[in-house]
Amino acid sequence: MTQFAASTHPGLKRDHNEDCYDASPELGLWLVADGVGGHAHGEVASGIVKETVKSAVASGKSLTDAITKSHQAILKEIDRRADGSNMGSTVVVLHLQGSDFDLAWVGDSRAYLYRDDGLEQLSRDHNPVSEMLRQGILTPEQAAVHPERHVLSQSLGVSSNVVVNPDSASGTLAAGEQIILCSDGLSDELTDAGIAAIMAREATPQAQVDALIHGALNAGGSDNVTVVVVGTPSARPAAPHGGIDLETTQNIGHAVATNKTERVSHTGKVWLLVGALLLLGLWLLL
């Protein structure tokens, strides 16, 4: 049986959690979905993604088809509610069969490959800043602080005008390698080097997940944070450190320094995406 662990936390600045995850080793399926759209809507959207993707993969659909189906399911729920909801979600999905894996994603929830020699991002964020980084227009340091780093070019749901084209990747998971799935509540707070250092320090997937979430909270905890780790760590002695109690971290908000730059809210992401679509529509009419 594949080793894995998963957990989610609302963070220190929000009173509810719009993230969700699924861990279904019997299907070889793990995912993280990060909802957008405000209280009582974002978590609905991410929940729809979770259940739709799981059901579609169980019935034999490809990951990209399953994700596209979840987009349509959110749009159907938006129409049913008729309350002006613009709820949506990102998603990153892992399907593992033996040692072979497939990944698919929409938005800025990420997949990483971790091994003893470092961390590699397998997914590519669906936003203009990520594209500028890929083209060499921006350095990683510039991209990390760019004011438009949270503007999504793709999101599930939100509007029927959004064109969803899931990206995908595949590979083989070797002994001692692990795949990390996470919402941007982790990747916004911790650098790749920081994530790798935590992964190297911990000896089990559960300890790694707990320590990554704790690290994101200590770095500010500005957003919901969800982490899934799949795979067996390489044999190595764990460095001594204090235990982590995630229930205690629910109440450490006042102990965290608050002088970090405030990040764009998830609702803000939705309006940025909707605004971009409206501008595109006006341009096409001219």
Domain ranges of the chain: 4-285
Bridge partners for 95 per DSSP: 29, 102
The reported pLDDT for the residue numbered 255 is 31
How far apart are the C-alpha atoms of 266 and 252, rounded to whole Å?
22
The single-letter DSSP state of residue 255 is G
Q: What is the pLDDT of residues 125-174, one digit of tens each?
A: 988 667 777 777 877 777 777 666 667 888 999 988 888 999 999 999 99
Q: What is the pTM of this model?
A: 0.83
pLDDT band (50, 70, 90) for residue 107: very high
Could you tell me if 90 and 131 are in contact, meaning their C-beta atoms sit under 8 angstroms apart?
A: no
How far apart are the C-alpha atoms of 209 and 205, rounded to whole Å?
6
% residues pLDDT > 90 (the chain): 63
The reported pLDDT for the residue numbered 249 is 39
The reported pLDDT for the residue numbered 268 is 54
How far apart are the C-alpha atoms of 28 and 5, rounded to whole Å?
13
Kindly write down the DSSP assignment for every residue of 95-153, as one continuous string: EEETTEEEEEEESS-EEEEEETTEEEE-S--SSHHHHHHHTTSS-HHHHHH-TTTT--S
The reported pLDDT for the residue numbered 248 is 36
The reported pLDDT for the residue numbered 206 is 97
pLDDT band (50, 70, 90) for residue 1: confident
The reported pLDDT for the residue numbered 85 is 82
Q: Which of 80, 280, 52, 44 is nearest to 162 (CA)?
A: 280
Kindly write down the DSSP assignment for every residue of 151-189, as one continuous string: --S--EES-TTPPP--EEEEEE--TT-EEEEE-HHHHTT
Residues, the chain: 286
Could you tell me if 231 and 173 are in contact, meaning their C-beta atoms sit under 8 angstroms apart?
A: yes
Q: What is the pLDDT of residues 65-85, one digit of tens each?
A: 999 999 999 999 999 987 778
Residue 114 has pLDDT above 90, yes or no: yes
4-285 to CATH, choices 3.30.70.20, 3.30.420.480, 1.10.3720.10, 3.60.40.10: 3.60.40.10
Q: SS3 helix, strand, coil % of the chain, rounded to 5? A: 35, 25, 40
Of 232 and 246, the one with more pLDDT:
232
